[in-house]
Amino acid sequence: MFEVISNDILAPNLHRMVIRAPRIAPVRRPGQFVIVRVGRGDERIPLTIGDADPAVGTITLFIQAIGASTRKIVAIPAGGSILDVAGPLGKPTHLANWKRVACIGGGVGTAVLFPLVKALAATESQITTIIGGRSSQYVILADELAALSETLLITTEDGSLGRKGFVTAELSELIADPLRTPDAVFAIGPVPMMRAIAELTRPHGIETIVSLNPIMIDGTGMCGGCRVVVDGESKFACVDGPEFDGHLVDFAGLSDRLTTYRDQEAALCHAANECKLTTGVAHV
Amino acid sequence: MCNNLTAKERLAIDRVHMPELDAELRSRNFEEVNQGLAREEAVREAQRCIQCKTRPCVEGCPVGVSIPEFIDALAAEKLPKAARILQGDNALPAVCGRVCPQESQCEARCVRGVKGEAVAIGYLERFVADWAMTNADKLRSEPLPTGTGKKVAVVGCGPAGLTAAGELARKGHTVTIFEALHDTGGVLRYGIPEFRLPKEIIDVEVDRLLALGVEIECNVIIGKTMTLDQLREQFDAVFIANGAGLPVMLNMPGENLKGVYSANEFLTRVNLMEAGCNPNSPTPIIKGNSVAVIGGGNTAMDCVRTARRLGAERAMIIYRRSEAEMPARIEEIRHAKEEGVEFVMLTAPLEIIGDDKGWTAALSCEKMELGQSDESGRRKPVPVANSRYEVPVDVVVNAIGTRSNPLLTATAPDLALNKWGNIVSDEQGATSIPGVFAGGDIVRGGATVILAMGDGKQAAAAIHGFLSGAA
Ligand SMILES: Cc1cc2nc3c(=O)[nH]c(=O)nc-3n(C[C@H](O)[C@H](O)[C@H](O)COP(=O)(O)OP(=O)(O)OC[C@H]3O[C@@H](n4cnc5c(N)ncnc54)[C@H](O)[C@@H]3O)c2cc1C
Ligand SMILES: Cc1cc2nc3c(=O)[nH]c(=O)nc-3n(C[C@H](O)[C@H](O)[C@H](O)COP(=O)(O)OP(=O)(O)OC[C@H]3O[C@@H](n4cnc5c(N)ncnc54)[C@H](O)[C@@H]3O)c2cc1C
Ligand code: SF4
Ligand code: SF4
Ligand code: FES
Ligand SMILES: [Mg+2]
């Protein structure tokens, strides 16, 4: 049993949960994730470890309630518990000595980005963080990220906060300015966003790292269900990733495989009769 | 019934038939196919054993179960005695009685098989084990040994880990099993389906270990949550039994289409997560109407029979060689056929073809014929010219095999591995690191439950020796 210490709502359907996981907290590194199963019979759900406090043995998860299982997770109040939390899984982020780094987050991807920005902030790199959302209420962690970055740029699709439009517009400007061109770009968010960013940086030869979210079960390399094609080769995202070179990822294949269970997921959501139409925001 | 039969009377008895669920019905549900013998049937079958002095059957059993002895007790209807003998030799008799390839092990050596049919040792083992499970009150409970104060970590909760843990706990050592998944049993739970091995049996066996004081901590991945070095610091000895759970990919075009599964994924979804068999399970699965399973082992049979039970009208085994070469247990092959599975032999898959939406639509295959024998003595299949054809399918399951998972070994550089990534160990299970032992599939590559258990037993004895010496 893993105790839920706190559960706050950061944005519509986006929760921050702190969970007691004393074995995981001291050993997890940025870029890694856990697999969570609420109770007997429930689905195994991969979630990035957003932060950790090794001293007290807790980890922080940022969870977007998007379907039946994530809704069940965020419904657990502080004081409640989760039956299974396994991890840390996946490879930690590889940090090099970049001079300038751009970190880009979209939707819940911003939460996944957070531990990475925190890790980069401890290096010499200059960080420009760009985060985007549908509208102001979906922009999360702005203060936390601003404190860690040299510059924080915000975009919203409706212009209710920051620049109107997409994160790619800000990135284009960064790249165009020789004084600000990043040596490396981290892009975490919906597949179309990561793909667009990889296409934007490719002609400039800027190293681009993306964090992939294929469907997983075990998270330990046992089932092969999380395979993604990178540089023409099948990789298991749970052990070889989840971060990969964005210029080599077959995004079309990833998007397509993510739709495998769409009908069944919709039916489950409908059965639970609590799926307010928030899906499709950050996941494609 | 009495057990004072003459040899002639014993020889006159015909081998018992295992009562089975009707093939048509069972191919649509997940209930156990083999119903188990009734008491009279079991006793009568036991009387077929002629109690050979040379005990050839025992030599066929990798853990040396005292076969004639437990069968004799059963023939005399001394069930508690039979159970004690069996449980003394085999930590998971209810499992082995169901899944051991008896026809190539104990029963293969039975002298009654020379001129007729072997004694149904597996069925009898299952009968006695099942009796013991429902009559635990009639058996003396095991005395708890006095603690030695030594701590042993076991990595992996499959048959090798479970067996070693039981043996070590009985010697008084404090044992903790670390398991990566959220539940116990290893392949017994996530691989072998309910219709062959009900999960309840694993639960009972695990409860027996817990009663002995064994601790099981799930959700701990050695190599991630903790390293082998940490285990070595915190425990006096370590037994590694993390199996061979890494799927070998087909490496053919179309492998990433929707509807293509590895056997591990397909079986894990259904067995561990109850996808498709429990309507309340939130874990999804593509059931498939026409399913091709590639491979010829037990895993392939389990997948294809599962596909039938999920509703496939057409469920096929696609195998490169002929039926005689199939490594699956004979009983599984027979059951699969009775359940309407098609056996497409001497056929090799070339490519999986998708529709315009990325779903699996067909399997492109070519016919094979058996050519020269290879090093293993098996005749090598060679393609027949211009024999390519397509079978329409919506699900393809790859059951060609598994390899060792490098998660643990990648973080233990001092641990010697062979070229396939399996841990190198001696007969006793000792690895290149003092105090670290290994057994089961991680050492052997994909093998059998009973061999994994044999390794667990062997290593437990070696660990006990190591701990006693080090004391
Ligand atoms: C390495 C990794 C890290 C992730 N980190 C986070 C995170 O920090 N916060 C967060 O909110 N989400 C994260 N996700 C995504 C999250 O796992 C999915 O949103 C969740 O599994 C959806 O489950 P559901 O039952 O609620 O929704 P469903 O309605 O069942 O599914 C909605 C969509 O989520 C995806 N999905 C479904 N099942 C799975 C699964 N078992 N594994 C992965 N994706 C699935 C599919 O695209 C699906 O169409 C991460 C995914 C991965 C692989
Ligand atoms: C579908 C299928 C059907 C089979 N049918 C038969 C049959 O009929 N008869 C027969 O005799 N054999 C059969 N086998 C083979 C048999 O199941 C295996 O040989 C046997 O289970 C091996 O036992 P093991 O204890 O070595 O490993 P496993 O049973 O594989 O158990 C290993 C355990 O370790 C865990 N683990 C892995 N990595 C780690 C880690 N890093 N940290 C912690 N835990 C970890 C795994 O999750 C797993 O629970 C079958 C195999 C399969 C896949
Ligand atoms: S353990 Fe397996 S091989 Fe040994 S006697 Fe029992 S069924 Fe036969
Ligand atoms: S070989 Fe067959 S007949 Fe002889 S003791 Fe063993 S089981 Fe009995
Ligand atoms: S989730 Fe099973 S191999 Fe990655
Ligand atoms: Mg779901």
Domain with residue A26: its CATH number is 2.40.30.10
Lowest mean pLDDT among A129-138, A185-194, B159-168: A129-138
* Averaged pLDDT score across all residues of chain B: 94
Q: Are strands B290-294 and B314-318 parallel, antiparallel or unpaired?
A: parallel
* Residues with C-beta atoms within 5 A of ion ligand 6: A 67, 69
The answer to whether position A94 is within a domain reads no
- Do A42 and A14 lie in one domain? The reply is yes
The answer to whether position A27 is within a domain reads yes
Q: What percent of chain A has pLDDT over 70?
A: 95
Report the pLDDT value the prediction gives residue B140, as an integer from 0 to 100. 76
User: B57 CB under 6 A from ligand 4?
Assistant: yes
Please, which pLDDT band fits residue A175 given cuts at 50, 70 and 90? very high
Chain B residue numbers touching A227 (CB-CB < 8 A)? 249, 256
Q: Residue B356: count other Cβ atoms within 10 Å of its Cβ.
A: 6
pLDDT mean over A197-206: 95
Please, which pLDDT band fits residue A274 given cuts at 50, 70 and 90? low
Residue nearest to atom 4 of ligand 4 (CA): B52
Q: Are strands A81-82 and A58-64 parallel, antiparallel or unpaired?
A: unpaired
Closest atom of ligand 1 to CA, residue A50: 8
Considering the domain B249-398, what is its CATH architecture? 3-Layer(bba) Sandwich (3.50)
Report the pLDDT value the prediction gives residue B373, as an integer from 0 to 100. 84
* Averaged pLDDT score across all residues of chain A: 91
pLDDT mean over A214-229: 96
B residues 243-262 closer than 8 Å to A (CB): 245-247, 249, 255-256, 258-259, 261-262
- Do A129 and A85 lie in one domain? The reply is no
Whether the ω angle into residue A242 lies within 30 degrees of 0, i.e. cis, is yes
User: B128 CB under 6 A from ligand 3?
Assistant: no
Among A37, A69, A89, the domain-final residue is: A89
- With 80 as the cut, is the pLDDT of residue B46 above it? yes
* Bigger pLDDT: B203 vs B470: B203
Please, which pLDDT band fits residue A280 given cuts at 50, 70 and 90? very low
How many angstroms separate the CA of residue A195 from the nearest CA in chain B? 19
Helix axes B67-75, B79-89, angle to 10 degrees: 160
- Do A171 and A39 lie in one domain? The reply is no
Chain B residue numbers touching A37 (CB-CB < 8 A)? 182
Report the pLDDT value the prediction gives residue A279, as an integer from 0 to 100. 45
B141 Cα: distance to centroid of ligand 1 (angstroms)? 47
- State which residues form the domain around A83: 2-89
- With 80 as the cut, is the pLDDT of residue A35 above it? yes
Give the predicted TM-score (pTM) of the model. 0.94
- With 80 as the cut, is the pLDDT of residue B325 above it? yes
- Do A75 and A31 lie in one domain? The reply is yes
The residue ranges of every structural domain in chain B are 7-138, 151-245+404-470, 249-398
pLDDT mean over B163-178: 95
* Bigger pLDDT: A175 vs B376: A175
pLDDT mean over A65-73: 93
DSSP letters, B118-157, are ---HHHHHHHHHHHHHHTGGGSPPPPPPPP---EEEEE--
pLDDT mean over A125-135: 91
Task: Tell the burial category of A143 from Cβ atoms under 10 Å away from its Cβ (0-12, 13-18, 19+).
Answer: exposed
- With 80 as the cut, is the pLDDT of residue A282 above it? no
Lowest mean pLDDT among A58-62, A225-229, A270-274, B401-405: A270-274
- Do A108 and A199 lie in one domain? The reply is yes
pLDDT mean over B406-422: 92
Alpha carbons B368 and B122: distance in angstroms, whole number: 35
- With 70 as the cut, is the pLDDT of residue B82 above it? yes
- With 70 as the cut, is the pLDDT of residue A107 above it? yes
Residue with tokens 């660990």: B463
pLDDT mean over B430-436: 95
Please, which pLDDT band fits residue B444 given cuts at 50, 70 and 90? very high
- Do A140 and A212 lie in one domain? The reply is yes
Pick the closest to residue B188 from B106, B110, B298 (CA basis). Answer: B298
Residue from the list B180, B262, B282 with its beta carbon closest to the beta carbon of A69: B282
Please give the CATH superfamily to which domain B7-138 belongs. Answer: Alpha-helical ferredoxin (1.10.1060.10)
Among A89, A111, A133, the domain-final residue is: A89
Q: What is the ipTM of this complex?
A: 0.94
Please, which pLDDT band fits residue B138 given cuts at 50, 70 and 90? confident
- With 70 as the cut, is the pLDDT of residue B176 above it? yes
Report the pLDDT value the prediction gives residue B94, as an integer from 0 to 100. 94
Q: Residue B53: count other Cβ atoms within 10 Å of its Cβ.
A: 7
Report the pLDDT value the prediction gives residue B69, as an integer from 0 to 100. 97
Alpha carbons B106 and B162: distance in angstroms, whole number: 22
Alpha carbons B299 and B296: distance in angstroms, whole number: 8
Ligand that comes closest to the CA of residue B177? 2
pLDDT mean over B7-14: 88
* Bigger pLDDT: A108 vs A218: A218
Closest atom of ligand 5 to CA, residue A239: 4
Among A44, A65, A89, the domain-final residue is: A89
- With 70 as the cut, is the pLDDT of residue B276 above it? yes
* Bigger pLDDT: A202 vs A272: A202
C-beta atoms of A44 and B182 within 8 A: yes
- With 50 as the cut, is the pLDDT of residue A201 above it? yes
Lowest mean pLDDT among A58-62, A266-270, B256-260, B420-424: A266-270
- Classify B196 in phi/psi space as left (phi over 0), alpha (psi -120 to 50) or beta: alpha
Report the pLDDT value the prediction gives residue B471, as an integer from 0 to 100. 45
Instruction: Answer yes or no: are the C-beta atoms of B15 and B116 closer than 8 Å.
Output: yes
Alpha carbons B206 and B391: distance in angstroms, whole number: 43
Q: Closest residue of A to B221, CA-based?
A: A87
Report the pLDDT value the prediction gives residue B187, as an integer from 0 to 100. 97
- With 70 as the cut, is the pLDDT of residue A80 above it? yes
Q: Are strands B342-344 and B314-318 parallel, antiparallel or unpaired?
A: parallel
Please, which pLDDT band fits residue A283 given cuts at 50, 70 and 90? very low
Q: Are strands A126-133 and A207-211 parallel, antiparallel or unpaired?
A: unpaired
Report the pLDDT value the prediction gives residue B7, as an integer from 0 to 100. 86
Fold of B151-245+404-470: FAD/NAD(P)-binding domain (3.50.50)
Helix runs in B139-292, H state only: 159-170, 187-190, 199-211, 228-234, 263-267
Report the pLDDT value the prediction gives residue A276, as an integer from 0 to 100. 52
User: Which residues, including other chains, have CB under 8 Å from residue A194's CB and lie 6 or more apart?
Assistant: A187, A188, A210, A212, A246, A249, A251
Alpha carbons A167 and A153: distance in angstroms, whole number: 9
Q: What percent of chain A has pLDDT over 90?
A: 75
- Do A85 and A104 lie in one domain? The reply is no
Decide if B7-138 and B151-245+404-470 have a common fold: no
- Do A229 and A142 lie in one domain? The reply is yes
- Total tally of structural domains belonging to chain A: 2
The answer to whether position A278 is within a domain reads no
Looking up residue A170, the CATH number of its domain turns out to be: 3.40.50.80
